[in-house]
Amino acid sequence: MPPGDEYRRKAADMTLRANHEGDPLTRAEYANLALSYLRLAEQAERNAMADIVYETPQARQPNVQQQQQRQPPNKGTEKP
């Protein structure tokens, strides 16, 4: 099944519901949903034509140099 067909089927369903709806606000919402599904169908087809491959970047080891700090001597543990 082509990528946009499912969205087009849903758009047709929303259009059918809009045509049978008596309330104008609900009819407008169904019509807006139908247009949204048609836009999704077009986007799905564009995405299917794109040749994009995502490659996970390799984990890098941080290049951090640590300096050792001199510790002051403990007064109680010093040897004379």
Over residues 32-67, the pLDDT tens digits come to 999 999 999 999 999 888 877 778 888 877 666 666
Domain assignment present for residue 19? The answer is: yes
Q: Report the C-alpha gap between 3 and 40 in whole angstroms.
A: 10
Residue 64 lies in a domain: no
Q: Provide the residue range defining the domain that includes 33.
A: 5-49
CA–CA distance, 43 with 60 (Å, rounded to integer): 35
pTM of structure: 0.61
Residues with Cβ < 8 Å from 27, sequence gap 6 or more?
Answer: 18, 21
DSSP structural state of residue 14: H
14 burial type by CB count under 10 A (0-12 exposed, 13-18 middle, 19+ buried): buried
Domain-located, residue 79: no
In a domain, 9, yes or no: yes
